[in-house]
Amino acid sequence: MTASKTKFQQRLNRALGSKRLATALDRALTTLGDRRDAAMAQLDWPSLRHDLAERRGAAVEHMPELIERFTREAEAVGTRVYRAPDAAEALRVVAGLCRAKGAKLVVKSKSMATEEIHLNQHLEGEGVRVVETDLGEWIIQLARDRPSHLIAPAIHKTREEVAELFSKETGRKIPPDNAELVKVARERLREAFLNADIGITGGNALIAETGTLMLVTNEGNADLATSLPAVHIAIVGIDKLVPTMEDAVAMLKLLPRSGTGQKITSYVQFITGPSRSADIEQTLTIGVHGPKEMHVVLLDNGRTAMREDPAFRDALRCIRCGACSTVCPSYRVVGGHVFGHVYTGPIGLVLSPWHHGIDSVAYEQNMCLGCNACDTVCPVEIPLAALINDVRAKAVERIGMSTAKRVALGMWSTREGLDRLFSWAHLLQGPFARNGVVRPPFLGELVAEKSLPRVADRPLHYRAREIADANPPAAKMRIAFFPSCLIDRLLPDAGYAAARVLQSLGAEVHLTYADSCCGLPQLNSGDRVHAIAMAQRAIERLEGVDADWITSPSASCAITISDDYLRILDAPWRARAQRVSRHIKPFTRLADELQRASGARGRRLGLRVTYHDACQSQNVLGIHDEPRRLLREVAGVEVSEMAESAVCCGFGGTFSFDYPEVATRILDRKLANAQATAADLIVADNPGCLTHIRGGLDARGKRTRVAHLAEVLWESLRPESVAGT
């Protein structure tokens, strides 16, 4: 296929314009998320998750041997096994079996592998009637639509829409009542089960030691599809191979919980060959109540190539639970028809290039904010956010980026260019600047729902000497303070406050700068050429710093240096980055450790605040309790928790400028949750979040204030004789 920006934009516009889609996604994803959280609270999630990741990783490592073993064991019990290197061969095998059996009617259980190879369309072209029997898939089939979620294919449909579909199908009025809708499906599909010539399924696992297919379902349709027809065909990716029954059971401990929030699904099938009986004189007869024939098609279709890629092979651990979509803030706004291809959601962006080419998600990958929420819920520890960023780099290499963005990122990549950009912005903002924000009307949609931060008259680096002069005389720790570009140019007061807080807690602080930005905007935009060059310059500067720790008041910048450099740089530079990364510690964690050691407390500010957990702080660094403890114990403020405090605010770096409508929908939810607390102040520790939330409040005429954690702490800790920042 060929990437089409026009078609992508059309789908995005349809999604944003659909109130029904918004309703459907909100209803379903809220329920799925709540169920998953409750289910995971009942077990040792970190241990089970790591165990399953290890097991799945071992299976990927030994995939060739597992293919051989499964084939041998399955054929020993009467299953016919086929190896399909690509979709075309899989289609040829299945169509050939249908012709050989004279099949006119096929019933299918839910299968993403069959969606991947577009099986239904192929069989219908061969004159075979295909009936989807999973309720969600049947809804999609009737609507002539396509699935939008790995485990809930019709998640984008409201019950009212389903009632309309069923009314049209039956010729009578069906009310939008779930029980009535299920009753219709049961009645209409029963005849297909009884008359089907072949049943086709996918598979959740293939157990090599016994030649067994494992199916995990809820509705009972898979049981009927695999027992009533005379022939059962399973189309399963080779990534589903596991060595032993124990490995399959380990998957069962997390798959239902991650996918639907159940301890276990209603049905778990282990199918080992066709049905058989030896009840008459212990003579084996094949085909009793179940199928006489069982066929398994082992589908490669890019999986072997994935396995050979040192980064993307991790994605083969996927168990198709769909949890990554459930927590994705962008997916919640646009749905799977925009966010992905056949495979949807975060994992879909990673898998699709290998099965359908990079063009299949060349524009769709832009929907990822890089918030890392998907990483936190993946039951097999796939580094989804990093892999999506790798896909983005490949997409940019393939289709490029807009001229304006390319020029801006190029200028941002050098100190001289950055100075020039901010100088221009400072000059142009003059007539529109007020209260720390600007909203030039000529920027149109960019400022329709959000004011932009004002470029400061005095960047933080102008105050380097002032900060150095304030160092305590007998400091126990020396800190190199690396402010982000946003802190330096847009929020210098927050940077100053962070430095003074660390000094108040007993540290010696010195500002340090690379020759340019750390490279985060370029990295997030898929501009690897500039990102790598900027990373190298930053390493050259930071590895010569004389300090116990290097800190930043921007968690995103700290993570870029400590984590991302290791991923994008080649071996010699990676080793240098590793040495630097050992000295990186984000401001919030460092302040927490210093305060615990010193016991320092400030004035009680008498404020009610709510805390927004920046994505990188919460999802990557695991920082959650530390800022709340500091606010309570140091500043004596009341912390009122907002709902979904760790969900992205919608900034996403350049995302909020590239897709302002999507960013605004996410921001609206964040602001509503924050304001529901009736807090005086919204606090966060990342500059991007602060500018985005402050701009959203200003554009809506709200008076709730926004501050960096450091600003609140410094207000509490600073001596009465010292003026504010």
pLDDT digits (tens, 9 = 90+) for 208-246: 999 999 999 999 999 999 999 999 999 999 999 999 999
**Residue 177 counted as domain residue:** yes
Give yes or no for a contact between 266 and 217, defined as CB atoms under 8 angstroms apart.
yes
The boundaries of the domain holding residue 648 are: 452-717
% pLDDT > 90, the chain: 92
Compute the average pLDDT of residues 569-574. 95
Q: Express as a percent the part of the chain with pLDDT over 70.
A: 99
pLDDT for 725 equals: 55
Q: What is the pLDDT of residue 202?
A: 98
* CA–CA separation, 269 and 234 (whole Å): 13
Mean pLDDT of 79-105: 98
Q: Is pLDDT at 721 greater than 70 in this prediction?
A: no
pLDDT for 278 equals 81
Q: How far apart are CA 151 and CA 718, in angstroms?
A: 54
Strand 433-434, strand 437-438: pairing: antiparallel
CB 457 within 8 A of CB 429: no
Please check whether residue 14 lies inside any domain of the structure. Answer: no
Domain presence at residue 433: no
pLDDT score, position 435: 81
- Report the pLDDT value the prediction gives residue 447, as an integer from 0 to 100: 85
- Do residues 126 and 295 lie in contact, with contact meaning Cβ atoms separated by under 8 Å? no
Q: Is residue 244 part of a domain?
A: yes
The answer to whether 611 touches 628, Cβ cutoff 8 Å, is yes
Mean pLDDT of 471-481: 94
pLDDT digits (tens, 9 = 90+) for 98-147: 999 999 999 999 999 999 999 999 999 999 999 999 999 999 999 999 99
Mean pLDDT of all residues in 557-583: 96
- Specify if 677 maps to a domain: yes
Give the separation between CA 460 and CA 483, rounded to whole angstroms. 8
Contact 63, 238 (CB under 8 A): yes
Close Cβ partners of 230 (under 8 Å, ≥ 6 residues apart)? 101, 197, 198, 287, 291, 292, 293
Given a cut of 80, whether residue 514 has pLDDT beyond it is: no
Cβ atoms of 456 and 528 closer than 8 Å:
no
**pLDDT value at 60 more than 90:** yes
pLDDT band at 345 (very low <50, low <70, confident <90, very high): very high
Q: How far apart are the first and last CA of the chain?
A: 56
Which residues does residue 194 pair with via DSSP β-bridges, in sequence order? none
Q: What is the pTM of this model?
A: 0.95
Whether residue 13 is contained in a domain is answered as: no
Q: Round to whole Å and give the CA distance between 706 and 680.
A: 9
Average pLDDT over residues 16-25: 96
Output the average pLDDT for the chain. Answer: 95
Over residues 32-50, the pLDDT tens digits come to 999 999 999 999 999 999 9
Given pLDDT bands bounded at 50, 70 and 90, which one contains residue 723?
low
Q: Beta strand 608-611 with 276-277: parallel, antiparallel or unpaired?
A: unpaired
Residue for token pair 């054929």: 75
Mean pLDDT of 352-370: 97
Q: Supply the pLDDT for residue 101.
A: 97
Check residue 458 and give its pLDDT: 94
Count CB atoms within 10 A of the CB of residue 572: 8
CATH assignment at residue 105: 3.40.50.10420
What is the tens place of the pLDDT at every residue in 378-395? 999 999 999 999 999 999
What is the model's pLDDT at position 285?
A: 84
CA distance 685 to 497: 12
Q: Which residue has the tokens 């290097």?
A: 550
Confidence band of 722 (pLDDT split at 50, 70, 90): low
Domain end call among 304, 339, 373: 304
Q: Say if 332 falls within a structural domain.
A: no
Angle, alpha carbons 110-114-120 (nearest 5°): 95
The pLDDT of residue 309 is: 97
pLDDT at 288: 86
Range 304-318 average pLDDT: 98
**Does residue 477 sit in helix, strand or coil?**
strand
* Dihedral sign computed on CA atoms, order 112, 116, 120, 126: negative
**Mean pLDDT across 288-297:** 94
Does some domain include residue 37?
Answer: no
Rounded Cα distance, 34 and 16, in Å: 25
Percent of residues in the chain assigned helix, strand, coil, to nearest 5: 55, 10, 35
pLDDT in tens, 161-177: 999 999 999 999 999 99
Q: How many domains does the chain have?
A: 2
- Mention every residue, 6+ apart, whose C-beta is less than 8 A from residue 498: 481, 487, 553, 587, 591, 708, 710, 714
Q: Which helix (H) or strand (E) holds 295?
A: strand 293-299
**pLDDT per residue as tens digits for the range 139-152:** 999 999 999 999 99
